[in-house]
Amino acid sequence: MKLKIFFLLLALLLVSAWGAIFVVIPAKEAGWKFYLIEGIITVSLIYLIYFYHKVVKPLDTIANGMDLLREQDFSSRLKPVGQREADRIVQIFNRMMAQLKEERLRLREQNHFLDLLINVSPMGVVILTFDERISMANKAALEFLGETSEKDILNKTMTQLSSDLAEELSRLPKDTTETIRLNDSHIYRCSRLSFVDRGFAHPFFLIESLTSEVMKAEKKAYEKVIRMIAHEVNNSVAGITSTLDTVTEAIRAIDESEDLCEAMRVCIERSYSMSRFITRFADVVKIPEPQLEEVGLNDRVEACMLFMENICLHRNITLKMELCEENPLIKVDTSLFEQVLINIIKNAAESIEDAGCITIRTTAQPLMLEVGDTGRGISKEVEAKLFSPFFSTKPNGQGIGLIFIREVLMKHGYNFSLHTYPDGITRFRIRF
């Protein structure tokens, strides 16, 4: 551009000089020197124009091409300028621009395909910046983290998210893969890796849900165990109780046999109790498929009020209700859901033992039911085992209640968690 301006100024100067000579020297006084000077100026102008078209214009055209390249306008092309060497450069430049356009289109198509692949992938992907802040998360990752929108977590660190999985991910070492089991019985295979972009390593997480596969394997395993145990126990109990009945009848004919009869009665009752115990376990794995219907969340909570108040009445426990105004609609099997809610309240009351508070809260955004209690809390070691078969924190517990809750909620497709928070409140949360 500067060269172009220089040539324009030079041309203007020559034209001015050419005109000035005509003004200063009259035509009648003009000699051969006058015409010589005018001829030299005219030739200089002609040569200047020729030089402009042969040198300056090609350079200007190439400069325009550089501007197009800087602006990444790969669709535009340069026109030939009528100068052989410059036209060769123009031809090479146009060929390069065509290749760049093709390469850019190919990369754009690849990136679009990768974006689609990441978004529809069942595996969660979370990409971080250099300072460990979230720059991207796909739909699967948002679901695993309990978030509804990517905007809500952008530029946040994992420790800033209210998610047990995020807390575990923040502690995951670089270039490692671990299997994480959370307190809501969800199991994930998590990897912390990195990829190179523009010469820098970008950390990212891969999250694969193993919950369904593990739960199926677990259920199949304990179903088999329960069937075996039930078969052996029921057969044995039938024989034992039959024999005990016969012996009891014989003992009754003996004088002063009341103590023996009472002992036999206790043995029979214990045998029947054992049979009922194994039958209850067998019933847990036979939970029917839920018959869904659309109902109000608050309505279902209020329908269980009488049962919940009876549970808390004799334990000196205060029951608080914090229900949202919207009364959001949910799709549930009413009977199964009410059983789940009563079981949760019962467990909360038993954890309090005597004197405390249970708070039932519902929210519309996010759609959630929360049962919080001021009980003794749950340790980290216990949290990971809570929903395992046959596990119970109660001295005489059978590990049935939480298994039942887990099975029902998973059949509904709801996310849930049971966790003791830093404020000392243990909260059971169901996200619809």
- Chain mean pLDDT for the chain: 77
pLDDT confidence of residue 281:
63
Higher pLDDT, 274 or 335: 335
Query: What is the signed CA dihedral for 298, 147, 409, 368, rounded to 10 degrees?
Result: -10
Share of the chain above pLDDT 70, in %: 75
Tokens of 406: 């887990």
pLDDT at 137 over 70: yes
Higher pLDDT, 271 or 129: 129
Rounded-to-integer distance, Cα 331 and Cα 296, Å: 9
pLDDT confidence of residue 55:
64
pLDDT at 21 over 70: no
Ranges assigned E (strand) in 106-150:
124-128, 134-137
Three-state DSSP state, 361: strand
pLDDT at 396 over 60: no
Half-sphere exposure of 244 (CA within 13 A, CB side): 19
The reported pTM is 0.53
pLDDT at 27 over 60: no
pLDDT tens digits, residue range 378-392?
A: 877 777 677 766 666
pLDDT confidence of residue 192:
92
Higher pLDDT, 204 or 109: 204
Share of the chain above pLDDT 90, in %: 2
